[in-house]
Chain A
Amino acid sequence: MVYFILKRLVQSVFVMLAVAFLAFSLFRFVGDPITQMTGVETSIEDQERLREELGLNDPFVLQFGRFTADMLQGDFGFSYRTRQPVAEMIATRIPATLELGIVALLISLFVGIPAGVYTALRPRGIPTQALLLTTLVGVSIPTFVIGIMLIFVFGVQLGWLPTFGRGGTVFIGNWESSLFTIEGWRALLLPAITLGVYQLTLTMRLVRAEMMEVMRSDYIRFGMARGVPMRRLHYKHALANTMVPVITIIGLQFGGVIAFSIVTESVFQWPGMGLLFLESIRFVDIPVMGVYLVVIAFFFVLVNLIVDLLYVVIDPRLRVRDVQ
């Protein structure tokens, strides 16, 4: 158990180092940092002096080491475009994206898992066919089109919900949250549904496939033969065994949620990290691009680490193996 966690931790550190290296290479080799920082009037001598002062003439490994050390201390450098510290720019955007992503993920789970179980248990019913057809269309309609459709129906035609921004937000410490006001929730609803739909279809299809597989297994048949109530078989024995792959996928989906939040944030003008990343691409603001990557990778690694720990909680076999 301890060995397993340690192994995963070491792997995570290596993944983070690889991403940091990518961010560093971006910063160092895409365009010249000096020309980005100085104006046209700066003389060549001044440029050279700046280059020497910033240590850009040092050996590559030394530069990368310094870069990583700075990052660990929370120093992420300055944006080319706004000249502000990148750490600050990203930090103010994180709450918006995380709240959006987590609510979207919850929607996809609380709708996707029951729908998956239902379609697996009643494979020939008409609601099942309708749900399956909906997922096929759901996979094929691009996220931004779903967003536009929701804006059109609920924002423009019915006028029930706001179509852009975060509505009312409250500061809890440094965390700007929209989860504590009704206005905030109203603003969150449409973007979260937009972001959740694609994940929802994936979750549903996966739960359905797993559940059907498990229902065919021997121990379920044995349970049936022994007269265990079907309800108990379905929701206790079968569902528990479908949860392991489902949790894996949730871990992997988190990356997808964050990536697609770029699109959703763009449609709804949601002031999160994704919108910042898009702007940084448009203006070739390399430091922001690099840091965004590192932050995303960090969340991704963190979630997958938690998922690995959850395995041990859910699957008792993993605990036993460790004893041997």
Chain B
Amino acid sequence: MIAFLKRYEGLWLFVHSPAAILAAIISVVILIGAVFAPWIALVNPYDLSSFSLFDGLLPPVWQEGANPKYLLGTDDQGRDMISAILYGARLSLVIGLAALTIAAVLGVGLGLAAGYYGGRFDAIVMRIADVQLALPAILTALLIDGIARGVLPAAVQQDLRVAVLTLAIALSLWVNFARTARASTFVQMNKEYVQAAIMMGQRPSRVMFVHILPNILGPLLVIMTVDLASAILLEATLSFLGIGLPADSPSLGTLIRIGMQFLLSGEWWILWIPTLFLVALVVSINILGDFLRDVFNPRLR
């Protein structure tokens, strides 16, 4: 009942927050564009035969010399910018969401168990979390990437780039989930329903996942939104540094790295349009995250 009211109240707050509505619209539009990229996009940026160098460096339609077929212009390879961005956002979102899922499962699992069992297990998990927290996420991700380059045979490296990148991001984000889940579990452990469940002899896994988990979902949801933004930023940064994805399967970060070469020339759109997209996406997700935090934490209102 309380959960329902909260949801209802959240909806009411949402309708009265123009920033949240705008952020939600932008996120949903980019999400739909990314999901349906293969059907919307003019060309397939991964398929070299679907575009030609003769269409290279065309400006967006509102500038002189544009081809109306390419609304936002083309890059030096003749790739349609919209198509490249849609596929890039698709890749960025897939990696971001996958990394987030891994981080959430790992972090929430460990956090729940640490809060439930306490004692030595809790101490070990939290020490590891402290060490991880002292290392900034980007450094962790770079390190994991470097190790993967050293350990994996050269033949499979190209094929596993996406997996390595996802794992590197996931392993640098799990701590937030673990700490939040642990703190909330501690609070729940003292409640009567949990004590009753334990007393009835229910298995620890059942108490943790069936009884406690639904009651700590609120704060976890906030972490999820904020961390989705972090995951997308991290992926973009790694790809921008040239450590992430190669140029033939560009994510938003890779597109920006390619665009950097045109910083000094007149072809501004190759750099700034993907940049604008990335920033709009991340800002929107962060605004939604801030909004959710306010909804779940009435004290801050």
Contacts and interface: CB of A to CB of B under 8 A. Distances in A.
B237 A151 contact: no
Given A31-B150, A148-B271, A284-B149, A140 B138 contact: no
Which 6 pairs from chain A and chain B are nearest by CB?
A259-B136, A30-B150, A281-B146, A140-B283, A259-B139, A31-B150
Contacts of A286: 150
Contacts of A30: 147, 150-151
Interface of A: 18, 26, 30-31, 136-137, 139-145, 148, 151-152, 156, 252, 255-256, 258-260, 262-263, 266, 277-278, 280-282, 284, 286, 289, 293, 296, 300
24 contacts: A18-B131, A30-B147, A31-B150, A136-B283, A140-B229, A140-B279, A140-B283, A142-B279, A144-B237, A145-B278, A148-B275, A255-B134, A258-B136, A259-B138, A260-B136, A263-B237, A263-B240, A266-B240, A266-B241, A278-B142, A281-B145, A281-B243, A282-B243, A289-B146
B286 A140 contact: yes
B94 to A, nearest CB: 19
A295 to B, nearest CB: 12
B263 interface: yes
A88 B143 CA distance: 22
Contacts of B143: 289, 293
Contacts of A140: 229, 279, 282-283, 286
A31 B150 CA distance: 6
**Which secondary structure characterizes the binding site on chain B?**
helix
A145 B286 contact: no
Contacts of A31: 150-151
Nearest to B282: A140
Given A282-B242, A300-B134, A142 B237 contact: yes
Interface in B150-198: 150-151
Contact of A137 (B150, B260, B283): B283
Given A30-B151, A142-B233, A152-B263, A278 B287 contact: no
Contacts of A300: 134
Nearest to A133: B19
Q: Which of A139, A140, A141, A266 has the most CB of B within 10 A?
A: A140
Contacts, number: 91
B24 to A, nearest CB: 15
Nearest to B147: A30
Q: Which of A18, A137, A280 has the most CB of B within 10 A?
A: A137
B124 interface: no
Contact of B136 (A141, A256, A266): A256
Interface residues of B, number: 35
A278 B243 contact: yes
B290 interface: yes
Given A140-B282, A141-B279, A281-B243, 7 more contacts: A18-B131, A26-B147, A145-B279, A252-B134, A262-B241, A284-B150, A300-B134
Interface string B111-131: 000000000000000000001
B256 interface: yes
B241 A263 contact: yes
A136 B142 contact: no
B290 A136 contact: yes
B110 interface: no
A289 B144 CA distance: 11
A284 B146 contact: yes
B264 A144 contact: no
Contact of B135 (A148, A255, A280): A255
B211 to A, nearest CB: 34
Contacts of B233: 142
Nearest to B264: A156
B236 interface: yes
Contacts of A277: 142
A141 B284 CA distance: 11
B65 to A, nearest CB: 22
A281 B134 contact: no
A284 B147 CA distance: 8
A317 B142 CA distance: 41
A13 to B, nearest CB: 15
Given A145-B278, A255-B134, A156 B263 contact: yes
Contacts of B139: 259, 262, 296
A196 B275 CA distance: 20
B150 to A, nearest CB: 4
Contacts of A284: 146, 149-150
B142 A142 contact: no
Contacts of B241: 144, 262-263, 266, 278
Q: Which of A18, A143, A144 has the most CB of B within 10 A?
A: A144
Contacts of A289: 143, 146
B243 A142 contact: no
Contacts of B271: 148
Given A148-B271, A263-B138, A142 B278 contact: yes
B286 A136 contact: yes
A142 B263 CA distance: 17
Nearest to B285: A140
Interface in B215-229: 229
B261 to A, nearest CB: 12
A26 B139 CA distance: 15
